[in-house]
Amino acid sequence: MKIYVQTDIEGVAGFCFFENRTNLSEENVRHRYRMYQLLTDEVNAAVRAAFDAGADEVIINDSHGSGYNILFEQLDPRCRIIHGRNCSGPHWLPLLDETFDAMVLIGMHAMGGTPCSITPHSKWVVNDGELFLSEASMAAAIAGDHGVPTVMISGDDKVTAEVSGKISGIEAVTVKQALSPYQACSAIPAKSCEMIYEGVKNGIFRRKEIAPFMIPGPVRLNLLDSADHCLPLLECGETVSGETIDEAFMKYEKGMDWNTLGLEHLDGFCYP
């Protein structure tokens, strides 16, 4: 049995705001690595649960920012991890295909514009407002294109409510109550890891009861509320189309200026 663990950082217990990468103060650097540790512990809880539920293979996608947020030296050595610059490879969800039995979402955040949620951003608009997707539900939809069910999500109360409303029966683990974009009431990290462990185990055990999240094509897609995710070639609000949600999403991703997908050009250098 193969399990895919998609991760972000904003939804972990204890996270309330982004680190400032231009601020090299000791306090800021310590804050950044503290968040890395919290994420690592929650991911490790998910990995242990997956193997305890019978998984033979677990792949983690370190999918926040730099792609180097998880202290993978601390992870269960039975898993593997995708790391490095996100979307510089073939896909936002590298290696995900129909051979996986389930997807798990760890550390998820709400879509842009969600009131009183932690650092909300990225609001995908499907078919001119027929449906709105967060990064979490977009990942679930892409997995659904491969017939893979998304069986568990962790994050704040706003994103778990959104995804639970789209995926009937998903194990939703709410590790914090969001009070504003930068304030929350969190479970203590040790408790959040216990909750995630149980949620992942239960979700995997019940995977055949949870249908893949599928959005029938053809699909029209655009991105709102995330100016930093756009670029001159593809403005926010511009629509792309595809036969599947996966195809439409990747057309958008390939237009982003840091994503030279399929090429070996990064930062002005060509790597042979």
How does pLDDT run across 88-141, given as a tens digit for each residue?
A: 677 889 999 999 999 999 999 999 889 999 988 888 999 988 999 999 999 999
The confidence score (pLDDT) of residue 87 equals 65
What pLDDT score does 232 carry? Answer: 38
Using a pLDDT cut of 90, give the percent of the chain over it. Answer: 62
Which own/partner pairs from 170-179 qualify as long-range (CB within 8 Å, at least 24 positions apart)? Answer: 170/203, 170/210, 171/199, 171/200, 171/202, 171/203, 171/206, 172/199, 173/198, 173/199, 175/11, 175/12, 175/13, 175/42, 176/11, 176/13, 176/14, 176/118, 178/110, 178/116, 178/117, 178/118, 179/116
Average pLDDT in the chain: 87
Higher pLDDT: 173 or 249? It is: 173
- Provide the pLDDT for residue 73: 94
pLDDT digits (tens, 9 = 90+) for 167-194: 999 999 999 999 998 899 999 999 999 9
Structure tokens at 105: 């979402």
d(CA 25, CA 151): 40
Torsion of CA 150, 155, 156, 161, to 10 degrees: 0
pLDDT at 69: 87
Taking residues 144-155, report their average pLDDT. Answer: 97
Which amino acid makes up residue 124? W
Per-residue confidence band for 154, with pLDDT thresholds at 50, 70 and 90: very high
Mean pLDDT of 235-257: 76
Is 0.85 surpassed by the pTM of this model?
A: yes
Bigger pLDDT: 3 or 255?
3
Which of 98-112, 174-188, 200-214, 256-270 comes out lowest in average pLDDT? 256-270
Comparison of pLDDT for 189 and 261, the residue scoring more: 189
Task: Kindly list the structural domains of the chain, giving each domain's residue range(s) and its CATH number in brackets, ordered by start.
Answer: 2-270 (3.40.50.10780)
**Whole-angstrom distance, CA of residue 262 vs CA of residue 265:** 9
Q: Evaluate whether 110 touches 181 at the Cβ level (below 8 Å).
A: no
The more confidently predicted of residues 168 and 237 is 168
